[in-house]
Amino acid sequence: MNVRLNIIILILFLFGSLKCLAQQQTPQPGAQKSVYLTPMCVYKGDTIPYVKLPTVYIFKPLKFKNKREMAKYYKLIRDVKKVLPISKEIKLAMMETYEYMMTLPTEKARQKHIKAVEKSVKEQYTPRMKQLTFAQGKLLIKLIDRQTNSTGYELVKAFMGSFKAGFYQTFAALFGASLKKQYDPTGEDALTERIILMVESGQL
């Protein structure tokens, strides 16, 4: 059965190739030729097309114990899709803020800029944060650590000082969260990491 199937596939492939070749050799009168531009690279003295293929991740199929566990998985997918873009925005904002601060001449000027940034961040993100669920908020804290290699607590401490870092940590603790929470892609957050990789590659 498998041999027959392979033969049929081979015949279809050859037929399709011959058909394409015939169409190339006998163009229709007045037909316009299609031109495809691709990036090029030089390899061992030859110029060849360079096409970057997307990464495809292959994981072991998941097995759910029950419908509740399955629903929890699909909820995590929705949460990641909503929170991941925000964590990337925060990473970019942190990088831009740090790079700009390095150009300022005095500590006073840097502190003034930090206050302006803090005000801007509150105005921009407060409405969006209010739309997040508690679970999404906790996930965001972890994804910030994933994107920046620094916990939320470390970032606040670096930019705003120990006092504000402690204040925000205490405030988060009142709701059962922690700015010191680290992302663990091979342990507690392995399933989240799997989802992120598949979302980023377009597989989810």
What pLDDT was estimated at residue 19?
Answer: 40
Q: Which residues contact 64 (CB under 8 A, 6 or more apart)?
A: 70, 73
Token pair in block for residue 15: 């037929």
pLDDT (tens digit per residue) in 49-85 = 888 877 888 889 999 999 999 999 999 999 999 999 9
What pLDDT was estimated at residue 33?
Answer: 66
Name the more confident of 47 and 18. Answer: 47
Spans of all domains in the chain:
67-200
What pLDDT was estimated at residue 175?
Answer: 57
Which 8-state DSSP code applies to residue 185?
A: T
Name the more confident of 79 and 102. Answer: 79
CA separation for the pair 134, 142 (Å, rounded): 13
CA separation for the pair 203, 194 (Å, rounded): 11
What pLDDT was estimated at residue 167?
Answer: 62
What pLDDT was estimated at residue 68?
Answer: 93
Across residues 14-36, what is the average pLDDT? Answer: 52
